[in-house]
């Protein structure tokens, strides 16, 4: 089949004005629970976009590790490409692609580092293998081969053998503080439902045409 010929109906349900909450995080948290309950492979997976120092735009897939009225939290290496981009331009966007539910949520706003105590608490709760990997990888830097990466990992294992693994100073969390959140629910005959929440001294909601 040619790409131009592929299409399907979106039939999972719709969004109606009367059912929309005043605060967008109420609906987001419900949709997040729905994604988890549906057994999606990565229900907390989110695409994060940044403006790089050279002006280019990049996206990457990360895992959401916290959500509250204050924003959306993910963790990374502070020496990575995305962290370098956020250090220069703190504007970012997120896309939650819950395709199996005919849903998307897009979020945009400013990104800030979370506190060191918050990063410490999350790091301490990670599996030991993930803690070792955080010390092992010089994220976004070139490496000669897979074998070289595995050798780095083995060296880190030996370094911490018999000891607790503390959080690396170059690793921690970011929080995207939302200013705009859009909910998209697929509808039949391309009559999709879109609602956008914009923050201006409080959340204001409006329906958008599909």
Tracing tokens 């004005």 back to the chain, one arrives at: 17
Annotated catalytic residue, options 58, 190, 205, 207? 190
Residue 189 has pLDDT above 90, yes or no: no
The least confident of 12-21, 28-37, 69-78, 98-107 is 12-21
- Give the span between the Cα atoms of 160 and 155, in whole angstroms: 9
DSSP annotation string for 96-162: EEEGGGTEEEEEEEEEEEPPHHHHHHHHHHS-HHHHHHHHH--TTS--S-HHHHHHHHHHHHHHTTT
Domain assignment present for 153:
no
| Domain-located, residue 132 | no
Locate tokens 């607790």: which residue?
Answer: 164
- Position 41 scores a pLDDT of 92
Question: Closest by alpha carbon to 184, among 73, 68, 101, 65?
Answer: 101
pLDDT recorded at residue 194: 96
Domain harbouring 15, CATH code: 2.30.110.10
Q: How many helices (H) and strands (E) does the chain have?
A: 5, 9
Please give the model's pTM, rounded to 2 decimal places.
0.91
Verify whether residue 190 is a known catalytic residue.
Answer: yes
Could you list the residue range(s) of the whole structural domain that residue 183 is in? Answer: 9-127+166-208
CA 23, CA 18: separation in Å to the nearest integer? 13
Mean pLDDT of 195-200: 97
Total count of domains within the chain: 1
pLDDT of residue 188: 85
Cα–Cα dist 47/151, whole Å = 30
Of 73, 68, 101, 92, the closest CA to residue 180 belongs to: 92
* 187 vs 73, residue with greater confidence: 73
Predicted confidence band at 86 (pLDDT cuts at 50, 70, 90)? very high
Share of the chain above pLDDT 90, in %: 85
User: For the stretch 88-101, what's the b/e string if a residue is b when 16 or more beta carbons lie within 10 angstroms of its beta carbon?
Assistant: eebebbbbbbbeeb
Estimate to the nearest angstrom the gap between the alpha carbon of 11 and the chain centroid: 26
186 lies in some domain: yes
Identify the pLDDT of residue 139.
Answer: 87
156 occurs within a structural domain: no
């Amino acid at each position: 089949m040619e790409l131009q010929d592929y299409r399907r109906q979106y039939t999972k349900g719709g969004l109606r004005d009367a059912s929309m909450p005043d605060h967008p995080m109420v609906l987001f948290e419900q949709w997040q629970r729905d994604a988890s309950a549906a057994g999606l492979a990565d229900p907390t997976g989110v695409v994060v976009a940044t403006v790089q120092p050279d002006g280019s735009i990049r996206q990457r897939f990360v895992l959401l590790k916290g959500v509250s009225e204050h924003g959306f939290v993910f963790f990374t290496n502070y020496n990575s490409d995305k962290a370098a981009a956020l250090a220069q331009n703190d504007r970012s966007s997120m896309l939650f692609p819950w395709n199996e539910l005919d849903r998307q949520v897009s979020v945009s706003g400013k990104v800030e580092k979370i506190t060191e105590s918050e990063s410490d608490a999350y790091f301490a709760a990670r599996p030991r293998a993930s803690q070792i990997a955080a010390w092992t990888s010089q994220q976004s830097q070139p490496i000669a081969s897979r074998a070289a990466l595995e050798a780095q990992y083995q060296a880190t294992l030996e370094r911490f053998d018999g000891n607790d693994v503390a959080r690396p100073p170059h690793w921690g969390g970011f929080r995207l503080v939302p200013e705009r959140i859009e909910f998209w629910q697929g509808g039949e005959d391309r009559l999709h439902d879109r609602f956008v929440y914009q923050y201006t001294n409080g959340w204001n909601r409006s329906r958008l045409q599909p």
